[in-house]
A and B are shown apart, each in its own frame.
Chain A
Amino acid sequence: MDNAILPVALKILVAGGFGVGKTTLVGSVSEIRPLRTEEYLTDESVGVDDLSGVEHKHTTTVAMDFGRITISEHLVLYLFGTPGQDRFWFVWDELASGAIGAIVLADTRRLADCFPSVDYFERRGTPFIVAVNCFDGARRYEPEQVQHALDLDPGIPVVLCDARTRESSKQALIALLEHVMAASTVAG
C-alpha cells in the first residue's frame, strides 16, 4: 500500500424511502454523473437477508447509485444512495461500515417511509441528520415538527433542503459534517 500517491476516501450515505430524491441529491452535488454499481445476492448473503417473497427469483441484484466530490488531491468524498430499505440489509451493512455519517431524506407527505433508515442508523450508532426534501406542493413543516414526528433524539439535526439544487444539497452535507464533528468532539 503506497499512501503517498493515493488520496484518502471518505464515504457518506444518503438514505430514505423509495422516490424521496436520494439519487437526485447525490447527482446535484457530484462532480460525475451518478454511477450505478450492482451487487449480486450470493448464497452467503441469503442466510442473513430476509428474502421472503422473492424466493422465486434466481438472481437478485442490488443497485447502488453513487457520486464523487474531490475535496483536494488528498481527500475524495463518495456519496452512496442506499438501496431499498426493507431488504438488502447486508448491502447496508457493507455501505455503513466505514461511513462517516448519513443523510436520511424525508418527504413530509410520506414521513413513515424514512422510519427504517432512522431506526437502522440509531441502532448501528452511525451519526446522521434528517433532511426534509421540500417537494413542490407539499405542505411545509418546521424542522421541530419533523423532529417531533420522527421522535428523534433532540441532538439530531433536521434541515430543510431541495435535493435538486447543488447549493441546498451542499448545505445538507455541511450540516451532517458539522454534526459528526460536534459528536466526535463530545465523545472524544
Chain B
Amino acid sequence: MGEPEESLWLDEQAGPVVRPYAMTAGRTRPTRGEFDLIALVVATRAVTGAEPGLSPEHVEIMGLCRRPLSVAEIAAHLDLPIGIVRVLLGDLLDRELILARAPALVTDQPSERVFKAVINGLRAL
C-alpha cells in the first residue's frame, strides 16, 4: 500500500531545497572564491536593473553591497541559505562586479595593536 508518508521525498518540507538550488542552476559550489561567513563583499559598480546573465538575486546582492557587507549578512537579508549565496557571489566575482576580502587569518593571530583597538572600541560603545 504505497509509501509511508515519512519516506516521501517531496513534501512541504522539501520545497525550500528545490527552489534555491534552481536559482543556482543546480550548482552547489561557487565557481570562484571561498566566501567565508565573515568575508566582506562590496560592489565595484552600480547595478540597478536587469543585466544579461544576472538573476534578480544577483541584482539584489549588488544593491545590498553598495556598502561592505559580510557573506552572512547578505544571506540573512536575502533569506537564502549560505551555500546558495556563495554560488551567487562566485558568479559576481567572475564578472568582477564585486570585491571580496577574506577575514583575518587566525593562524597568524591579529596583532596586539588590533586587539587593543577592539578593546578600546568596545569601551567606547
Q: Does A78 contact B (CB under 8 A)?
A: yes
Over the window 23-48 of chain B, the binary record of Cβ atoms lying under 8 Å from chain A Cβ atoms (1 yes, 0 no) is: 00000100000001111101000000
For the complex, what is the distance from the CA of A59 to the CA of B105, rounded to whole Å? Answer: 32
Residue contact B112 to A66, C-beta cutoff 8 Å: no
Contacts of A36 in B (CB 8 A): 76
Considering only residues 96-144 of chain A, those with a C-beta below 8 Å from chain B are 97-100
Q: Does A57 contact B (CB under 8 A)?
A: yes
For the complex, what is the distance from the CA of A149 to the CA of B106, rounded to whole Å? Answer: 30
Known contacts A37-B82, A66-B72, A174-B122, A8 near B42 by CB under 8 Å:
no
Over the window 19-30 of chain A, the binary record of Cβ atoms lying under 8 Å from chain B Cβ atoms (1 yes, 0 no) is: 000000000010
Residue contact B103 to A1, C-beta cutoff 8 Å: no
Contact with A69, one of B14, B68, B117, B125 (Cβ below 8 angstroms): B125
Considering only residues 1-41 of chain A, those with a C-beta below 8 Å from chain B are 1-3, 5-11, 29, 35-40
Q: Which residue of A lies closest to B114 (CB)?
A: A75
Residue contact A69 to B121, C-beta cutoff 8 Å: yes
- Counting chain A CB atoms within 10 Å of each CB, the highest count among B112, B119, B123 belongs to B119
Contact with B40, one of A9, A170, A185 (Cβ below 8 angstroms): A9
Interface of A is mostly: mixed
Interface size grouping (class) on chain B: 35 or more
Residue contact A42 to B28, C-beta cutoff 8 Å: yes
Residue contact A98 to B118, C-beta cutoff 8 Å: no
Residue contact A177 to B103, C-beta cutoff 8 Å: no
Residue contact B40 to A64, C-beta cutoff 8 Å: no
Contact with B117, one of A35, A66, A72, A173 (Cβ below 8 angstroms): A72
Known contacts A58-B9, A59-B14, A174-B119, A39 near B125 by CB under 8 Å:
no
Q: Does B1 contact A (CB under 8 A)?
A: no
Q: Does B51 contact A (CB under 8 A)?
A: no
Contacts of B76 in A (CB 8 A): 35-37, 66
Contact with B99, one of A1, A35, A68, A173 (Cβ below 8 angstroms): A1
